[in-house]
């Protein structure tokens, strides 16, 4: 396996709840060590104003997708709605959906 490849066993975890440790917190997201071939990223789109992530925290998230450009697994915290669903709901609230 080369550095650019993601382990097949890791990819089989897509959609499953995984646990990891927060290793960095930025305005644009939270980096999580999952113990897998790549780190995870909780994108800022999944972080609410009242969420408080700190380095060393243990977190559980759904493994949503592998982002090749970022070379990271995209994580969705439990209780958070996928981004596409959030946007659809927002459009419906504003009366913009057809």
At residue 96, the pLDDT reads 64
> What pTM did the predictor assign?
0.77
pLDDT at 26: 94
Alpha carbon of residue 84 to chain centroid: 14
Q: What is the mean pLDDT of each run of 10 residues along the chain (98 residues)?
A: 66 91 95 95 88 95 92 91 77 73
Task: Enumerate the domain spans of the chain.
Answer: 8-94
Residues 63 and 18: beta-carbon distance below 8 Å: yes
Q: Does domain 8-94 have CATH number 3.40.190.10?
A: no
């Amino acid at each position: 396996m080369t550095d650019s490849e993601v382990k097949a066993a890791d990819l089989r975890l897509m959609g499953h709840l995984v646990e990891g440790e927060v290793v960095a917190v930025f305005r644009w997201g939270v980096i999580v060590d999952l113990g897998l071939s790549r780190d995870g990223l909780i994108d800022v789109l999944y972080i609410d104003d009242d969420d408080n992530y700190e380095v060393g925290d243990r977190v559980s998230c759904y493994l949503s997708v592998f982002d090749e450009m970022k070379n990271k697994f995209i994580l969705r915290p439990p209780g958070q709605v996928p981004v596409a669903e959030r946007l659809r709901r927002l459009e419906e609230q504003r009366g913009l959906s057809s």
